[in-house]
Amino acid sequence: MLSWLFRAARGDRRSRRVVFLIECHMNQNARDRDAAESPAVNRALIDLLMERQVGMAQIRCPEIACLGFARSREPGQSIREALSEQGPAACCTKLATETADRIQSYLEQAYEVLAVLGGNAQSPACAIHNQPGSQHLADSSGIFMQALAEELAQRGLHVPFRGMRDVDSNLLKEDLTWLLEHL
- Calpha distance 24→120 (Å, rounded): 11
Confidence band, pLDDT 50/70/90 cuts, at residue 6? low
Contact between 97 and 153 under an 8 Å Cβ cutoff? The reply is no
32 is a domain residue:
yes
Q: Of 18 and 4, which is predicted with more confidence? A: 18
Residue 2 lies in a domain: no
Q: What is the pLDDT of residues 20-60, one digit of tens each?
A: 999 888 766 566 666 556 665 678 888 999 999 999 999 99
Distance from C-alpha of 121 to C-alpha of 84, rounded to nearest angstrom: 17
Strand, coil or helix: what is 144?
Answer: helix
**Greater pLDDT, 36 or 145:** 145
Q: Is residue 8 part of a domain?
A: no
**pLDDT at position 134:** 61
| pLDDT, the chain, mean | 85
Q: What is the pLDDT of residues 146-170, one digit of tens each?
A: 999 999 999 999 999 998 988 888 9
Residue 12 CB neighbours (<10 A) = 7
For the chain, what percent of residues have pLDDT higher than 90?
Answer: 50
Structural domain span for residue 49: 14-182
Candidates 64, 18, 26; CA nearest to 42 is 26
Q: Judge whether residue 135 has pLDDT over 90.
A: no
Between 62 and 1, the higher pLDDT residue? 62
- Number of separate domains in the chain: 1
CATH classification at residue 143: 3.40.50
Please report the pLDDT score of residue 13 as a whole number.
79
Q: Is residue 79 included in any domain, yes or no? A: yes
For 23-34, b where at least 16 C-beta lie within 10 A, e where not — what string? Answer: bbbbebebbbee
* 66 lies in some domain: yes
